[in-house]
Each structure stands twice: as structure tokens, then as C-alpha cells.
Amino acid sequence: MKKLEILRYPDERLKKQSQPVIDFGKDFKEFVDNLLYTMKNSPAGVGIAAPQVNKHIQTIIVDASGYKHKYNKTNHGLMILSNPRIIAHDGEIIIREGCLSVPDYTGNVKRHYWIKVEAEDINGKTITFDTEGFEAVVIQHEMDHLIGKLFIDRVASPKDIFKRKVYKK
Amino acid sequence: MRYFIITAFGKDQPGIVAGITKILYEEGLNIEDSTMTRLNNEFAVMLVVQSDDNISAEELKKALSIIEKEKELTINVKEITDEALKDKKEVGAVYNIVVYGADKPGIVYNVAKLLADKNINISDLRTEKSNDLYVLISQVEFPPEVSEEEIEAELNRLKDEMNIDVSMEKQESVEM
């Protein structure tokens, strides 16, 4: 397994639309292994999307299980989702989001609080589940990468985007 | 490289930002950090700019005097010293503190004094007033030795004393 290089804005490749996954074969699984390894070795390690490592396929990895957050009440652990679709949603939630591809900024982003998701699992089998709160936000954040959107595109107002002004020795 | 802080304010009208930044652009200055906002009917601009050339504060002020006259602004320019730029301090954690309540004298002062007494730095603060409701929103930096419980207790004391509402939340962002 190897750590893949994460693209950073303003890299134009982050703004590209990703293509659906059709072939769930050996090459795909090998890529997913490396993507997972890359996610696990990043600061929070809660999510990553394939286009962030310059692979423009509709695959995201989410794992909210190891992260303490006030809205993290229920989660499904590690999930490898391809071609994810939100088929129902309800409510609103705002979380301060950061992004591996936009390291110097954070922003308050409004997302659906509850979502019902349909996606293909690692073997291409269609699954459906619903989730809420923190995990729902991570999924929506990662899904945005698949259509070339960053959290900055979703920030509500000028007062909701923040440069990291914290100095540490 | 030289850095300057520029402040400018004047009656709110279209073209203040365009006028100032046109000059900065033409002088080859980069805007490193800025806040530009309307305060009542005055528009206030605060900028930190960086120059690769050897422009002086006086020369910069002179270049800006065109827009100063045209829009009847008050503009100040100060060079930031190298020492000030390098002076980075250690921060324990960042918190958002929101205070609100019926408007009365001393809200900002009492909150700021409480923070200053604990050596807490304010990195951002704004206030809004609408009819009788006063709102203070701030982002503050706790030094490593200050605890959340300690400040929460102090803020609760102030809350009772002044009959205001106070909330404090640690600012956390999640890398996704």
C-alpha cells in the first residue's frame, strides 16, 4: 500500500467531474486499498474522495467511527461507496469543515442533517442506508468532490469562511 | 519584502474598494489580509499589504491620496516591522464566544476585561445592535495554561451580574 499524493486547490483537477465506477475488479480494489491507506494517514482520517488523489472515478471512503464530535451519534464505521446518490434528505446541519485539499481554510457549511443514500459497495452490489449528523456531513462533503465542488463553494456568507489564523510554535 | 497596514474609512458609497485596490494593484502590492465592512453608514477598510519593491509608507500614502481626495476618505499607512511579523505566540485553543442581551453600557468592556485579565487574546470581534438586542461575536485564543472550566465560570458570573446571555464553544474543524 502506498500513500497517494493529495491534490491541493488551486489545482484544476479538483474541479473535474468524476465518472461512474463500472468495473469493480482487481485494479479498482488495489486503488481503493491505496486510497484507504492515504485517508488513514491524514490528520482526521474521516473521509476521502478518489478525485482528491487525481483519480476521477465516483468513489468515496468514509469512516466516522474514530472521530469524537458532538453530532457524531450514529455511524456505520468504514464505508467504501461508489456512485453514491442521495435519494432522500431532511433537516439542516452546520459544521465547521476543513478539507485535505484546502489546507489553509475552514468554513461553516450547511448540509442535510439526515440523508438516505444508495451506492455500490466494494464488490459493486447496490446498498441503501440512511444516516444523520456528522457521518451525513462527511458523506456530503466527499460526494461534492465527485462533482468538482469544494466546501468553499458551499460557504454561507463571508463571515463563515476562516483562514487558519492560529499560530503554533 | 515590506509589509504595511492600511486603514481607510469614509462615507459608504460604491467604488471605495475598487478605487483603493486599483492603486495597490498598480503599485504592485499584494493584499495579504483584509477586512472591509460597513459600520453604520461609514465604510471601513483594513488591509495588510506586501510589497516586493522598496516602496516607503510615505510613498504609499501619497499614491493613495488620489482616492483619498476623490472619495473623501481618511487613509493611514503604517509599516509593519520585521520583529512584529516574526512574533508568533503559542496558542492553546481557539474558542468562539457569543454574548447577547438587552442593550446596556459596558457589555463589550466587561467581556473584554474578563478576557484580558486571563491573558486571552481576541483575534476577531464584532458587535451588532438591532433595536434593543445587542450581540457580540468573538473568536479568542486561550493560552495553554487557561482552562475552559475557569473561563466558563467567569463568563457565568458575568452573565448573572449583567443579565446577559453567554455561550462559549471550542472552535473545531474537521479535515474531511
Give residue limits of the domains in chain B: 2-85, 93-170
Helix ranges (DSSP H) in A16-150: 26-40, 133-146
- Any idea which fold A12-91+113-151 has? Peptide Deformylase (3.90.45)
Say yes or no for a CB contact (<8 Å) between B176 and A141: yes
DSSP state of A7: P
**Residue B130 CB neighbours (<10 A):** 8
Q: Measured between CB atoms, which of B33, B89, B174 is closest to A98?
A: B174
User: Which of chain A's residues have a Cβ under 8 Å away from the Cβ of B141?
Assistant: 166
| pTM, to two decimals | 0.78
Check residue B173 and give its pLDDT: 80
Active site (annotated) includes residue A142: yes
Spans in chain B with pLDDT lower than 70: 88-90
Say yes or no for a CB contact (<8 Å) between A100 and B176: yes
Q: Omega into A10 within 30° of 0, i.e. cis?
A: yes
Homologous superfamily (CATH) for B93-170:
ACT domain (3.30.70.260)
For B107-140, write each residue's pLDDT tens digit.
999 999 999 999 999 989 999 998 889 999 999 9
Residue of chain B whose alpha carbon sits nearest to that of A139: B176
For A105-120, write each residue's pLDDT tens digit.
889 999 999 999 999 9
> Is B54 part of the contact surface with chain A (CB cutoff 8 Å)?
no
User: How do the domains of chain A map onto residue ranges?
Assistant: 12-91+113-151
| Total beta-carbon pairs less than 8 A apart between chain A and chain B | 50
Nearest to residue B76, comparing CAs of B99, B97, B92, B60?
B60
- Any idea which fold B2-85 has? Alpha-Beta Plaits (3.30.70)
> Is A40 part of the contact surface with chain B (CB cutoff 8 Å)?
no
> Is A63 part of the contact surface with chain B (CB cutoff 8 Å)?
no
> Is A108 part of the contact surface with chain B (CB cutoff 8 Å)?
no
The grid coordinates listed for B113 are 476585561
> Is B175 part of the contact surface with chain A (CB cutoff 8 Å)?
yes
ipTM higher than threshold 0.90: no
